[in-house]
Chains A and B, each alone.
Chain A
Amino acid sequence: MLLSAFWFFATLTIAFGISVILLRNPVSCAMSLAMCFISLAALFITLDATLIGIMQILVYAGAVMVLFLFIIMLLDLRTEKSRRLNFGTTLGGVLVIAAFLSMLTQIVLSNPQFAQTIPTLALPTPDNVKMIGMTLFHSYALPFEAIGVLLLSATVGVIVLSRRTLR
């Protein structure tokens, strides 16, 4: 059951990820990216990270994708005219990706520690939200405050950047 859910959503995530980089129309790319994030959220939920999965849908598939679509429509981006690919950069990119994938496969498949199946939890129904809240506000209270300041400065930065004339 969990295995078939994993294969289904992993295939969906990677297929929509590939369609993001292959489609020419920016709006189709943005919609594929939204589907990619939603199936990734389903993968998080198969790993018992319910809160993170829901946050993924709310923040990424909701807020971030709306922002992307808004910018695409604001700039009125059309389908890209296909230009000739620079042969050197294409070859370099494909080589780097192939080297990365072969190294990763070698490391992941060679280590027996990575071959373990999902371990059962001592508590049958872990209260995910409660435990994340406890950890966040006990051990990570200061980073939590810092992230608030970061969001505030990002908001101010966006307002400064989007003024008509920069002074």
Chain B
Amino acid sequence: MHIAEGFLPPAHAIAWGVASAPFVVHGVRSLTREVREHPESTLLLGASGAFTFVLSALKLPSVTGSCSHPTGTGLGAILFRPPIMAVLGTITLLFQALLLAHGGLTTLGANVFSMAIAGPWAGYGVYRLLRGWDVPLMVTVFFGAFVADLSTYCVTSVQLALAFPDPGSGFLGALGKFGSIFAVTQVPLAVSEGLLTVIVMRLLVQSSKGELTRLGVLLTRSGERKQEAVAR
């Protein structure tokens, strides 16, 4: 659930836009380079974007008695790294802002920052950290997607608390208020997103071994896997 149109004061809207722009520009460059150097990855890029499309259209009920939706950004961040996900996430947010009146153009910068930049980077960071500790792939994928989803809504809460500090309790009071609306609602949804991302990754491991090896998701450490990669 994104910040609605017009619900950030102009100064905040502009500041978040300025903060997001370089990430998106850098992402567009990474994306064009990826497509130029590896035209065969276009399909998987499309699939990653499609996953975000599906998940951010699914409004699910949560334990707090309200509804929110997952983001689907963890998968693309793990496969293609966060800069490329910044572009795919921005496209999804634009679609929703223009056609669905969900999110908005004035709040696009802030929403891009939370869903397409902060979330993917946080999820990717956790994924890399766990991989470094030799945690099984699917466990790292689950936590990567879980963190990408949950951190997105934590950032949204911070953005709103910065714009609307509580008159009595200040920034922290407002953060508690928005956090209980967004972040708590999101916990079970982030679990769902983690599980769905694991399902897609399992299907990818079956169907696209070569691609995942090239992207560094599947390691060619053991000899057996190496042979398999060579055979392909």
Question: Is B truly associated with A?
Answer: no
B interface residues with partner A (beta carbon < 8 Å): none
